[in-house]
Amino acid sequence: MPDPADLLFSDVQPKLLNEYEKLTSRHYKILAMSWAGWVFDFYDLILFTFLLIPISVEYHFTDLQMSYVLGASLAATAIGGVIFGILSDRYGRRPILQWTILTYSIGSFLSGLSGSFWMLMIFRILTGLGVGGEWGTGQTYIGETFPAKVRGRYCAMMQTGAPIGIALASVVGGLISPIIGWRACFFVSILPAILVLFIRGYLPESDLWLRRKKVIKSGIETIMGNVTTGIQQIRLLFSTANRKYFILGLVLAIFDMSAYWLTYSWMPGYLHSERHFTLTKSAIWILVTQTGGFLGYLIFGVVADKFGRRPAYSIYSVIMALGLVMVTIFWDYIVIYPFIILAFMFMVGFGTGMFGGFGSLFSELFPTSIRSTAMGSAFNLARGIQFFTPVVISIIAVRFGLGGGISLAALFALLTGAWIWTFPETREKKLYPGD
Q: With helix as H, strand as E and coil as C, how does the chain read?
A: CCCHHHHHCCCCCCCCHHHCCCCCHHHHHHHHHHHHHHHHHHHHHHHHHHHHHHHHHHHCCCHHHHHHHHHHHHHHHHHHHHHHHHHHHHHCHHHHHHHHHHHHHHHHHHHCCCCCHHHHHHHHHHHHHHHHHHHHHHHHHHHHHCCHHHHHHHHHHHHCHHHHHHHHHHHHHHHHHHHHCHHHHHHHHHHHHHHHHHHHHHCCCCHHHHHHHHHHHCCCHHHHCCCCCHHHHHHHHCCCCCHHHHHHHHHHHHHHHHHHHHHHCCHHHHHHHHCCCCHHHHHHHHHHHHHHHHHHHHHHHHHHHHHCHHHHHHHHHHHHHHHHHHHCCCHHHHCCCHHHHHHHHHHHHHHHHHHHHHHHHHHHHCCHHHHHHHHHHHHHHHHHHCCHHHHHHHHHHHHHHHHHHHCHHHHHHHHHHHHHHHCCCCCCCCCCCCC
Q: Which is more confidently placed, 60 or 429?
A: 429
Q: Which is more confidently placed, 6 or 344?
A: 344
**Would you say 406 and 286 are in contact if contact means Cβ atoms under 8 Å apart?**
no
- Closest by alpha carbon to 52, among 43, 61, 42, 44? 61
In terms of phi and psi (left: phi > 0; alpha: psi -120 to 50; beta: otherwise), the region of 367 is: beta
In terms of phi and psi (left: phi > 0; alpha: psi -120 to 50; beta: otherwise), the region of 203 is: beta
Average pLDDT over residues 101-111: 91
Q: Which is more confidently placed, 329 or 398?
A: 329
Average pLDDT over residues 339-367: 91
Between 1-10, 148-157, 175-184, 195-204, the lowest mean confidence (pLDDT) is in 1-10
Q: Which is more confidently placed, 367 or 46?
A: 367
Please state, rounded to an integer, the average pLDDT across all residues of the chain.
84
Confidence at residue 223, expressed as pLDDT on a 0 to 100 scale: 40
Is the pLDDT at 83 greater than 70? The verdict is: yes
Q: Which is more confidently placed, 271 or 219?
A: 271
Confidence at residue 334, expressed as pLDDT on a 0 to 100 scale: 82
Is the pLDDT at 190 greater than 60? The verdict is: yes
145/207 Cα distance (integer angstroms): 7
Residues across the chain: 435
Q: Where are the chain's structural domains?
A: 23-422
Is the pLDDT at 129 greater than 80? The verdict is: yes
% of the chain exceeding 90 in pLDDT = 34
% of the chain exceeding 70 in pLDDT = 88
Average pLDDT over residues 112-129: 90
Confidence at residue 72, expressed as pLDDT on a 0 to 100 scale: 84
Is the pLDDT at 339 greater than 50? The verdict is: yes
Is the pLDDT at 1 greater than 50? The verdict is: no
pLDDT bucket at 400, cuts 50 / 70 / 90: low
pLDDT bucket at 238, cuts 50 / 70 / 90: confident
First to last CA, the chain: 24
Confidence at residue 5, expressed as pLDDT on a 0 to 100 scale: 43
Confidence at residue 229, expressed as pLDDT on a 0 to 100 scale: 59
pLDDT digits (tens, 9 = 90+) for 295-327: 999 999 999 999 999 999 999 999 999 999 998
C-alpha triplet 125, 157, 243: angle, nearest 5°: 60
pLDDT bucket at 224, cuts 50 / 70 / 90: very low
Is the pLDDT at 430 greater than 50? The verdict is: yes
209/346 Cα distance (integer angstroms): 39
Average pLDDT over residues 144-172: 89
pLDDT bucket at 271, cuts 50 / 70 / 90: confident
> Among the CATH numbers 3.40.50.740, 1.10.3720.10, 1.20.1250.20, 3.40.930.10, which is that of 23-422?
1.20.1250.20
Average pLDDT over residues 355-363: 91
